[in-house]
Amino acid sequence: MLPFRTNITIFIVEFLCSVLLQAFYTVSEYGVERAGLVGLGLIPVFLVFILSYRISNEGVVVRCLAGAGIASQYYMAFASHTQGMLVFMFLATATTIALFLNQRFLTEYFSVTLLVLILIGVFRPDEILSFIDMSQYVTYITMYAFAGVALVFISYSVANYKREMDEQYEVAREALEAKSNFLANMSHEIRTPMNAIYGMAEILEGRGTTGPDKEYIAVIKRSSENLLSIINEILDFSKVDSGKMEIIEESYDFNEMLQDVVSIIEFRMKDKHLKLLLNIDPNTPSKLIGDETRVRQILINLLNNAVKFTHQGSVTLDIVWRDESDIYNMDMGRMTIYVRDTGIGISQENIKKLFTAFGQIDTKKNRNVEGTGLGLAISKSLAEAMGGSISVDSVVGRGSVFTVVLPQRFADPTPSRFHANKLQAAYQHDKFTAEFIAPKAKVLIVDDNKVNLQVAQELMKIFGINASTAESGQEAIDRVSKQLINYDVIFMDHMMPYLDGVEATKQIRAMKSDYARSVPIVALTANAIKGVEQQFMAVGMNDYIPKPIKVEQLAAVLKKWIPPQKMFPAGTSIEEVERREMNVRWNDLTKEEKLKRLDGIDTAGGINNCAGNVDAYFELLKTYASSNLINLLQGFYEKEDLANYTVIAHSIKGASQSVGALDVAEKAYALERAGKRGDINYIWDNHDDLVEEYGGILEMLKKYLFRSS
């Protein structure tokens, strides 16, 4: 089962050894000169070995080596007068050929070598009798034949076993791949409706509901989070099971990580009469180096488990730090975590089941306890992956102590001095309050699911943003390519039919415009598989938000990517926003900033129409904004003068195309064609749309282009 090239090398080494043995024997019997002749037997085999690097057919290589080996062995036996021992030399080579696990090669080899041995015995008996008697030679040949049959049979059996193992491996690989695909799809399919459930609950909570409705909303959110926790555990276990669990070591803040854990556990304890006691070693370094996500996960799993199975008393978290720095590792330490509870305890018999998959014990007794039974199995795998360990000591009816030992390096040895009485719960029971609004921000949300679009739009309204939507990756590409609106942020769903978010982003980034290459694109993903964020960044996305969208995460992303000048403190009125925006001196803006304010116009196309002259383009825009075409069009419309209406529509179309107002140009062209064919009904149905959009563009241009400051 060794690689083909390795078997070739073994063949050469074995053959070299046999030549050396022959040479030593010849030196002792006939002298150095005859031994030199024996050594010439290496030449055919080495020639074939060299040629094997130029021959791609493995069967041809093996047959050539076998043929060269037979010829060389016979020549060396003749040169050293050891024809009687040729049978053993052939057998040694046969064992090497058997490494290729091909019974056909072996059968051919034994057939040829047996024929050679028999012919030597029949036609060259004197050479045999000079070394051994004929009866021994016949015995050797008989034994050689039996050995050949045995080797062929063994080779066939091993090759057949290998073939079966390869088939089973392929089946297992396909099953594992199918499982991974299933889990990824399951994650997406479950998280998509969960996004709607959780998002709508967030929106209702933000509207200040009171009484029973507020409690119902809290139950919906809590149940959604519990379901997501179960999904994440199943996905994590699948990664452990398939060997895809990654440990990513980075610097992290010990106090922040621990406060996050404690806040989560305190929230889960709020319906129980339990105390959470903390004994944190004050000398624990403030900045550690490790996988913060996995350390947090172990802590939450153990503490959450303790809370589940403890109905009265307390849950205690002890963390002890031991500095283990030496001359080779100046930043090493060992963090020992103890999670103690006064719960139901575990029998010695059941302790063995704790760290196995789906290993809930006493399932009838604990039927009301939520969970998959995967938390401890995952924690054990994570601890071992980080070079640590986990163990448990328990007494039935008195409680349990889980001990986790984790090696961690430290980036900052300053003592963390974590104090439990200074903690603040991370989970706020009051509704989320936005710190800022951005009503002038241009945001595009891309998702094929209309419910998801509605949820995202409603969440954006918390920040005063009236977001645009697109229901496919292709629609998003079209909007960016036309550049009618320069979006500040694009939220791109990951998995969409026909053209997913990843491919859509690739196509946007490949466009030949600075805007397309630089516009922030944030992935919206229901795929919880770790590492997917690296895939997003690799194709040009700037950030990502997992589904269900949490308003706190959305706030952080908006704050990160929306231009600061478009953000205002929460509570700022729209009038005040408008006033502040007007106070920005137009002449102080760069030309690029001015162009970005011209929504609904393909400024890049307009500049191109002016042969790349930006100054000429600004003059063209002023001329366009000063025209009286809209009033003329309205007048001819009211008079039902189709001939002159058609002429003015044609003029609006041409002027709009020149400046890059492509939507206006398209609508004007449609009305022009309707006028030429006398379709008054079409003009009546669509005239107002053109006037509204055309008028909006003119008002925007007048607002900016004719300001003195």
Half-sphere exposure of 89 (CA within 13 A, CB side): 28
What are the tens digits of pLDDT across the range 117-164? 888 888 888 877 777 788 888 888 898 888 888 888 888 888 888 888
So what's the pLDDT on residue 422? 46
CATH of the domain at 323: 3.30.565.10
Mean pLDDT value across residues 652-672: 92
When mean pLDDT is compared across 90-99, 674-683, 691-700, the lowest value belongs to 90-99
- Residue 371 confidence (pLDDT): 44
**Complete DSSP assignment for 308-373:** HT--SEEEEEEEEEEE---SS-TTEEEEEEEEEE-SS---HHHHTTTTSTT--SSTTTTTT--S-S
Domains held by the chain: number: 4
Mean pLDDT value of segment 176-183 = 68
Q: Which among 451, 412, 107, 99 has a CA at the least distance from the CA of 251?
A: 412
* CATH number of the domain to which 495 belongs: 3.40.50.2300
In this structure, what DSSP letter does residue 431 have?
Answer: P
Domain assignment present for residue 165? The answer is no
Q: Which region holds residue 327: left if phi is over 0, alpha if psi is between -120 and 50, else beta? A: alpha
Q: Identify the pLDDT of residue 96.
A: 82
Q: Which of 422, 448, 466 is the last residue of a domain?
A: 422
Domain stop point among 392, 422, 452: 422
One domain for residues 362 and 510: no
- Identify the helix (H) or strand (E) that includes residue 476: helix 473-482
Residues 372, 251, single domain; the answer is: yes
Distance CA 520, CA 492 (A): 10
* Residue pair 239/245 in contact by the 8 Å Cβ criterion: yes
Q: Tens digits of per-residue pLDDT, 195-221?
A: 778 778 877 877 767 677 777 777 677
H-helix segments, 207-253:
211-241
Question: Distance (Å, rounded) from C-alpha 389 to C-alpha 382?
Answer: 9
Tens of pLDDT, residue by residue over 6-52, are 878 888 887 788 778 878 878 887 788 777 877 787 788 778 778 77
pLDDT at 249 over 90: no
Q: How far is Cα 515 from Cα 488, in angstroms, rounded to an integer?
A: 10
For residue 592, the domain's CATH number is 1.20.120
Indicate whether 627 belongs to any domain: yes
DSSP 389: E
pLDDT band at 521 (very low <50, low <70, confident <90, very high): very high
- At residue 475 the predicted structure's pLDDT band, cuts being 50, 70 and 90, is very high
Query: Which residue pairs, CB below 8 angstroms and at least 24 apart, start in 219-225?
Result: 224/194, 224/197, 224/198, 224/548, 225/198
Residue 217 placed within a domain: no
* Mean pLDDT, rounded, for 477-498: 86
Is the pLDDT higher at 257 or at 52?
257
CB half-sphere exposure, 439, CA atoms < 13 A = 15
Any domain includes 188 = no
Residue 650 pLDDT? 94
618: containing domain: 586-705
Same domain? For 414 and 514 the reply is: no
pLDDT the model gives residue 602 = 85
CA dihedral of residues 456, 462, 463, 469 (deg, nearest 10)? 30
Query: What average pLDDT does the structure give for the chain?
Result: 82
Other beta carbons within 10 angstroms of residue 277's beta carbon come to 12
- Lowest-confidence region among 274-283, 288-297, 353-362: 353-362
404 lies in the same domain as 527? no
pLDDT for res 133? 82
d(CA 660, CA 609): 9
Report the distance separating Cα 200 and Cα 704, nearest Å.
Answer: 39
112-121, 556-565, 582-591: least confidently modelled range: 582-591
Within this chain, do residues 414 and 453 fall inside the same structural domain, yes or no? no
- pLDDT category, 428, cuts 50, 70, 90? very low
- Same domain membership, residue 418 and residue 459: no
Is residue 259 domain-shared with residue 367, that is, in the same domain? yes
Report whether 226 contacts 263 (CB < 8 A).
no
Residue that finishes a domain, picked among 371, 397, 422:
422
Q: How would you class 609 by CB atoms within 10 Å of its CB: exposed for 0-12, middle for 13-18, buried for 19 or more?
A: middle
Least confident of 14-18, 288-292, 568-572, 612-616: 14-18
Query: In the predicted model, what is the mean pLDDT of residues 551-565?
Result: 90
Decide if 290 contacts 401 (C-beta within 8 A).
no
Q: What is the pLDDT of residue 237?
A: 57
**369 and 271, same structural domain?**
yes
Task: Encode 25-75 in three state secondary structure.
Answer: HHHHHHCHHHHHHHHCCHHHHHHHHHHCCCCCCHHHHHHHHHHHHHHHHHH
In a domain, 525, yes or no: yes
Beta bridge partner(s), residue 402: 339, 392
Q: Say what the pLDDT of residue 429 is.
A: 40
- Do 355 and 488 lie in one domain? The reply is no
Question: Taking 80 as the threshold, does the pLDDT of residue 635 lie above it?
Answer: yes
Same-domain status, 390 and 446: no
What is residue 491's predicted lDDT score, i.e. its pLDDT? 95
Round to whole Å and give the CA distance between 391 and 388. Answer: 11
Does 396 lie in the same domain as 456?
A: no
CB atoms within 10 A of CB 168: 10
Whether 206 maps to a domain, the answer reads no
Alpha-carbon distance of 154 to 501, in angstroms, equals 55
- Residue 184 banded pLDDT, cuts 50, 70, 90: low
Q: Are residues 458 and 349 in the same domain?
A: no
- Which pLDDT score is estimated for 557? 93
In a domain, 218, yes or no: no
**Quick check: is 428 in a domain?**
no
Question: Which of these ranges, 74-83, 148-157, 209-218, 491-500, has the smallest mean pLDDT?
Answer: 209-218
Over residues 332-350, the pLDDT tens digits come to 999 999 999 998 888 887 8
User: Is residue 582 predicted with pLDDT exceeding 70?
Assistant: no
pTM passes above 0.75: no
